Structure 1
Amino acid sequence: MFRFRLTVVIVVSFGFVLFLGIALYWGSNQVSRYFQRSQTAYEAFDRYERLSQEAYRHFKQRMDRLITSSPTAEAGVASSKNRLYEAMQELRNTAIQTPATGNLIGDMQDKPAEMSRVAHFTAFLDASEYWFDEVERLRQQGKNEMAVQTLSKFSEEEIDGKFQPLIDAAINAEREKAANAKQELENLVAQSRWIAILASVVAAMFSLMSGVFLLHGVRKPIETLMKSTEEIASGNLHYRISLDTRDEFAYLANHFNQMASKLELQQDKLREGHALLEKRVADRTFELHGLNEELKRMDSERRTFLADLSHELRTPITIIRGEAEVTLRGQERNAEEYKDALLRILELSMQLGKYVNDLFFLARAETANLQFEWDSVDLTDLVVSAVENFQVMAAENSISISLDASNEPIWVRGDKQRLRQVLFILGDNSCRYSKLGGHIGIALSTDDKEAVFTLTDQGIGIPTQDLDRIFDRQFRSQNARRSRNDGTGLGLPMAKSILNAHGGSITVASTENIGSTFTVTLPLLPAGQNGS
């Protein structure tokens, strides 16, 4: 119902606006037509004025020529005749080309009258030429008196009796047309003003009545809805709206009641969920309490570990400092005593280095995030350089090292420093676990599309049961732990990670107490992509 009433008001209001628009459009068109008509009348008035002036000027020039017969008068006659006929042609063209609009009665009536006047003027000008030619003929025959009488008769009868009335009638007609157009324009403006005032008054009265009517229809439902929203907002979800209408407000009230019912149901569920959440929070709190106790225990163990570690580090550092201070404070000593002090300092430094090395590997194992700088790498050059470093490490245990490799470059794509790290890990393990006076054999070759690097030592070997776990993080075989206690079990896993990033692989074959052979493969660079 309310929607229907609102639609009616909108349609009627739109009708008023449309009516005003049409009225204004019609009025503006009429004003434009009357203004154009007035403008046309004034322009025609100017053309008739010009025609009159040019005609009298031409008549005067012709008369002067008949009297004086001078060449100057002859030139003036030709010039005035041209201007006269130009003015006449302009008037004729305007009369022919100006269409009657058909919307104003005056336009339809003025068109034939305009054409008739133009025809009369044309006929008069043609007749005037005949009169002047006749006067010229009489003068040439020596009949000057008869020529003067004819010229005087033309001036009185034709110019004053016919031409001047035609000009006056034409000018008066155009003045009357302009005056009529002006009067009609004023009447139209007055009518448009009254139409606008009347339409505005009717529209204002209708808007006022429509507003009162609509306000009376919506005031009570809106007040009811506002009261209901206040009740719901205050938490009274049991409140329901009661409207006895059959319009959109009743529909809105019904949905509002449904919303209140759903909110009430959701509030009950929220209470249940809140209770369940409190129970779960209590359970989680208990779990967090247990985890907190575990964290405290782990923190205590960490503190103990750091205390033990600091003690282990402090002891050799203290002894080293003490040995150095005692040696420096004492009196002059012989070379053997200095050598003994330096040996003790060296042993403690090596012990300290072992602790630092363990910490370094442990920290790197937990936080390392390897970065690679890819480039073309000559594996032959890299292996030859690494073998020279291995020989320095092997000299301590009198271990010999041999290299079987071609002098030709073998190009692979990789990070040179990371690949050197892999070689150092394998070489360091072989030197550390090889027997005194043993031998390490290193070979480098190519196989189809791969570069193959092998390292064979005569060390303690790896037990068969440990071969599958040798590349696991922090794993060390039993014989390795018995042989040396300074390892971390991180070297081989790191080497495997580096090789996997390069698309390569590492394998091992070993026999306990005989030795091990590590084989590394890397994909070769295609021909044309190497660094040569």
Structure 2
Amino acid sequence: MKPKQKRHLHSRLTHKLLFAFSVIFLFSCLIGWLYFDSSERYSKHAKQSDLTHEVLTQYSLIAKLSLEKLIAMGEIVRTGRVQTPQLREENEQQLRGALFSVRDNLLKKIALSHLDSANKELQMLDLITQKVEQIINTNNEIKFLVAQDKLVDANQLFNLLQKQNVDKEFNQLINKAVSQEQALAQQIRNDVNTLYHFSNQALAAALAAMSLFTLMTFWYFWRRINDATKQLHTATSQYSDGNLAHRINALSDFEFQYLGDALNSMAAQLASQQAQLNEAKRSLEEKVAQRTQDLERSNQKLALVDQQRRQFLADISHELRTPLTIIRGESEVLLRSQSAQLPDYKEVLQRVVDEVQHTTALIEDLMLVARSSAGQLKLNIHQFDLKNLLTDIQQVYQRKANAQQQEITLFLANQEAFIDADERRLRQVLMILLENALAYSPSHTCTEIHLLIREELMVIKVIDQGMGIPKEEQQQVFERFYRGNRGQTPGSGLGLPVAKAIIDGHGGHISLQPNSHGQGCTATVLLPILGVETA
């Protein structure tokens, strides 16, 4: 919701452009209206001017024809001769046609301008028409009297017309009408000049206003577009240079702000992806380094295992060769002896049997470890009392401990200690642990055997007071072919691997750790009370 509210704070550049174009369009319409209105008014004034000119021309014609009519009447009275009827009718038609033309033009002017002066002109025209009709009628009467040879009556009628000052009144009316038309023509010229100046000023003002507005609009949009494009260009330059942390500030116009938000969002996504790539790269480098270290440790371990294998093969070869050498030596001595008796044969055979048993046990240990590694170790699981086994083992090895000036102490739990396991194999494990404890412990020390019961586990601890075990060898001592710093002590080095194979076969765990007081070590065996299923 916040981004949408923020967008409403920005104005739309398109709305401003539409407003600017609308104002410019209105200015254009105003200029067009001024032009067409001026043209229309110019046209109207031109028509009025033409009609006024036509009226003046017709008035001049009327004055001329009327004057000719008066002169003709004087000639008729003076000479007593009448013009031909055709010429007389033509003159009258011209006078009446000129009057009709003036009336028609005045009516047109009224239709154009609706001015009161046009009505006054019509009234003046009516007076002129009356005078012209009076002249025409008097002329016709004089012609009729002359035609009947009544010259005296004709002369009296003409003198009456002169006494009435018809010609002077007619001239005054004509002059007044002409003056009105000239004044109207001058007014039209003045109106045209005023319209000309007004139109020029209005058009110039409108053009100036439109030009100023157009320039201001151009400057305004140029500045806003230029500012926005500068920020966008700077942002794209920063992004191309790898600075994805750069952000475009808030822009005034919605369109550019929308583009800026899109670029900021793109930069944020690219930065996030780049951070993920960097993190993945760092993680990959760490994994490669870790794998390299693991590989180096594995190589070192393989080299160590290979060395142990070689040492083990040498020890095994020695262990196998020693009884074979004894057997061969004893047999050769017995065969070369000429005076050997039956007891001698029995003694030699007994030593041969002992060495064969030792060799057989060594081979069985090797086969047990191999079967355990292959997951093929077979156990004879049955229920027995672990306390009885520990007590029997303690009694057996107490005699050996006494011979080495050592003690073996047994600590048993108060609860019953029945367990489902292979009794013979667990005896073998306990014998291996006690053999090591007695072998590595000095005289006048005590080896302790503890039996603890923890829920579903039996815990056996064998604590000696020997030379102890380094921390780095606590796991390696259970590996095949490894004897470590204890290699100086006689033995094949298969004891602890055999013990671990047997305990693993029972689903338990065996460990060897130094004592807390710093002397000797503790072998801990964890066994499930209910045992495990066997194949």
| TM-score (norm. length: structure 1) | 0.43
Query: Which protein, 1 or 2, shows the higher relative CO under an 8 Å CA cutoff with sep ≥ 6?
Result: 2
